[in-house]
Amino acid sequence: MSTKNEVSGYLPDERPPILGLIFFALQQIVVMFPATVLVALITGFHVSTTIFASGLATLGFILITGRQIPLYYGSSFSYIAAIASIMSAEQFALYSLDDKISVAQFGIVMSGFVSIFAGYIINRSGKDKIDKVLPATVTGSIAIIIGLSLAANAMTNAASFPAAAQNNPYAGSYAWVIAIITLLSTILYSVYLKGKLSQLPILFGLLTGYAAALVIGGVSGIPFVSFDTIQTAGVFNLPIFTFPKPTLTAVIAIMPIAIATIPESTAHVYQLDIYVNDLANKKGVGKKYDIESKLGLNLIGDGIGDIISGAIGGPAGTNYGENISAMAISKNFSIHVLMLAAIFTMIISCFTPLINIIYSIPTAVIGGLSIYLFGVIGAQGITIMLDRKVDMFSAKNLAVIAVILVVGLGGSFGFEGGMIPMFGIEIPAIASAAVVGILLNLMLSIGEK
């Protein structure tokens, strides 16, 4: 009995005490913030609106799925090229920024209906048929390339320093020191902390890296920490809400991307199922958390998230691997934590000082955290294949895995923006890998018993 009591962590239907709840929620915000904000910056969407939309869409997702699937909704990288094509299109050149966002919003909302329809089909088809289309060879490989395709972002972030220090020959070295301190401290916290503290390694790692950046910045004179990213007269500023403007161009450009994100969502659901039930077994809970059978419900929730986000001016999104990594590392899968994180996120988006505090986290610190988090996403893909006992001596399985890995990673690193130029069009690398992997698996399955 003593062994059960020593296992720390919270299952989806368990609620931590209030103080823990707050810190766990802040940790979830920390890991989703960089990617969500980056999508807004790249696409030209309003940052505060994007942050607010991610929180509201997460609440919508959790409520629609009956509080059964612990996932956080954030802006998706898969849609960046499609949204950017609308924002920079010649036919909308004379439009204001808000009008361009409104046009893109319509495509985002419509992509939500694609996910809902896919979820409905999956619910009607049953798990066996889904496993034939999306076996562990596909979903595990997709999880691997999602994590590793972001490796370059993690490493370049780790080496980043403020533009004001361009003439300082040691600025890059200082940035690496900050990133390494952040990475090592986060790993040490996750390995050696025990009890309740073991569930906050990412937050503690960030604070350690932040403190290192303050000290190194003070000694070197390099402003690694800055609190004036967004300058405005008021402390409280509501996000800028825009509304969708029906346009066929946006539907054609953005709507199909939703199909390519289905394997990604599937991988996330399978990852969660493995980690949650592993924790339940270790805690001695006599209950099976059947999350993998809720794939269709997850896609419906994802689609609702896109509709909510797109309706108010946020980019298209998906459930975040970074947040799953944080949950796997901290063994904290509580739905209550994610709901509070969503509410906090919406509050933060309305207060400029709070947004500036988040922005003040040095890029090198984010890089140090990302090296760990993105690596864990990739490792979760291996976990999926191990858990499903994938036969690695099967020529069919090796072919599917090999093609997905090379198309996904080669496309991500070999072409600008991860867009593969092919037959006169540009296709997102990860989406291409997913579609090619699914089709190849189905083709090689013909005639199989």
**Residue with tokens 């953005």, as numbered in its chain:** 254
- CA 135/CA 163 separation, integer angstroms: 46
Helix 262-283 vs helix 97-125: crossing angle, to nearest 10: 60
Q: Which residue has the higher pLDDT, 385 or 258?
A: 385
- CA 365/CA 299 separation, integer angstroms: 33
On whether the CB atoms of residues 206 and 23 are closer than 8 A, the answer is no
3 state SS for the chain: CHHHHHCCCECCCCCCCHHHHHHHHHHHHHHHHHHHHHHHHHHCCCHHHHHHHHHHHHHHHHHHCCCCCCCCEEECHHHHHHHHHHHCCHHHCCCCHHHHHHHHHHHHHHHHHHHHHHHHHHHHHCHHHHHHHCCHHHHHHHHHHHHHHCHHHHHHHHCCCCHHHCCCCCHHHHHHHHHHHHHHHHHHHHHHCCHHHHHCHHHHHHHHHHHHHHHHHHHHCCCCCCCCCCCCCCCECCCCCCCCCCCHHHHHHHCCHHHHCHHHHHHHHHHHHHHHHHHHHHHCCCCCCCCHHHHHHHHHHHHHHHHHHHHHCCCCEEECHHHHHHHHHHCECCHHHHHHHHHHHHHHCCEHHHHHHHHCCCHHHHHHHHHHHHHHHHHHHHHHHHHCCCCCCCHHHHHHHHHHHHHHHHHHHHCHHHEEEECCEEEEHHHHHHHHHHHHHHHHCCCCC
Residue 218 contacts by C-beta under 8 Å, 6 or more apart in sequence? none
On whether the CB atoms of residues 309 and 317 are closer than 8 A, the answer is yes
| Confidence check: pLDDT of 88 > 90 | no
> At 278, is the pLDDT very low, low, confident or very high (cuts 50, 70, 90)?
very high
Tokens of 110: 């419509």
74-99 mean pLDDT = 85
User: Which of the residue ranges 204-218, 225-239, 403-417 has the most confident prediction, judged by mean pLDDT?
Assistant: 204-218
Q: What is the pLDDT of residue 230?
A: 66
Tens digit of each residue's pLDDT (9 = 90 or more) over 220-268: 999 999 887 666 657 888 899 999 999 988 888 888 778 767 887 888 8
Tens digit of each residue's pLDDT (9 = 90 or more) over 291-315: 988 999 999 999 999 999 999 999 9
| Confidence check: pLDDT of 180 > 90 | yes
On whether the CB atoms of residues 16 and 208 are closer than 8 A, the answer is no
Does this model's pTM top 0.85? My answer is no
Find, among 265, 260, 332, the residue nearest to 298 by Cα: 265
> At 106, is the pLDDT very low, low, confident or very high (cuts 50, 70, 90)?
very high
| Confidence check: pLDDT of 4 > 50 | no
Number of CB atoms found within 10 A of residue 125's CB: 13
Task: Spell out the domain ranges in the chain.
Answer: 2-444
**Pseudo-torsion of CA 107, 112, 116, 119, nearest 10°?**
110
On whether the CB atoms of residues 378 and 115 are closer than 8 A, the answer is no
On whether the CB atoms of residues 368 and 201 are closer than 8 A, the answer is no
345-359 mean pLDDT = 87
- CA 76/CA 63 separation, integer angstroms: 21
> At 190, is the pLDDT very low, low, confident or very high (cuts 50, 70, 90)?
very high
| Confidence check: pLDDT of 150 > 70 | yes
- CA 424/CA 226 separation, integer angstroms: 44
Phi, psi angles (nearest 5°) of residue 182: -60, -50
Phi, psi angles (nearest 5°) of residue 246: -55, 120
- CA 351/CA 370 separation, integer angstroms: 26
| Confidence check: pLDDT of 344 > 70 | yes
